[in-house]
Amino acid sequence: QVQLVESGGGSVQAGGSLRLSCAASGYNYGRSTMGWFRQAPEKAREGVAAIRTGGGNTYYADFVKGRFTISHDNVKNTAYLKMNSLKPEDTDMYYCAVATAWRAYPPMASDYRYWGQGTQVTVSS
């Protein structure tokens, strides 16, 4: 059974940093895509960043370019989202997800089969 367990969220002041982690079990990364999404209440899930495992090609939404970095560690079977220079508008629930193929960018939630439980990021001014 595939499980994605997220951690690393919390509250931080504007300009601060967080690192989100997504520990996977029951899944072996290969030619797949790891994505990070955000979702505000009553809004659609939105792609933030993605990486093609086995290839390393990455995607970043315009609103995080230059501030966030996505990575993964196949030994630990864990994906990360390093979030620097956080802004209040980054406040949201963040979800990690896996698609079992190299998916097109920008990432679409419907392409991703497995999902984490979400972790809250709150940025205050």
Would you write out the chain's pLDDT as a tens digit for each of its 125 residues?
889 999 999 999 999 999 999 998 887 666 889 999 999 989 999 999 999 987 679 999 999 999 999 999 888 889 999 999 999 999 999 999 999 888 999 999 999 999 999 999 999 99
DSSP 3-state of 113: coil
> Quick one: tokens of 28?
């072996």
Question: What pLDDT score was predicted for residue 89?
Answer: 96
Question: What pLDDT score was predicted for residue 29?
Answer: 60
Whole-angstrom CA distances from 117 to 16, 23, 82, 87, 105 are 24, 11, 18, 23, 23
Question: What pLDDT score was predicted for residue 31?
Answer: 81
> Quick one: tokens of 102?
């190299």
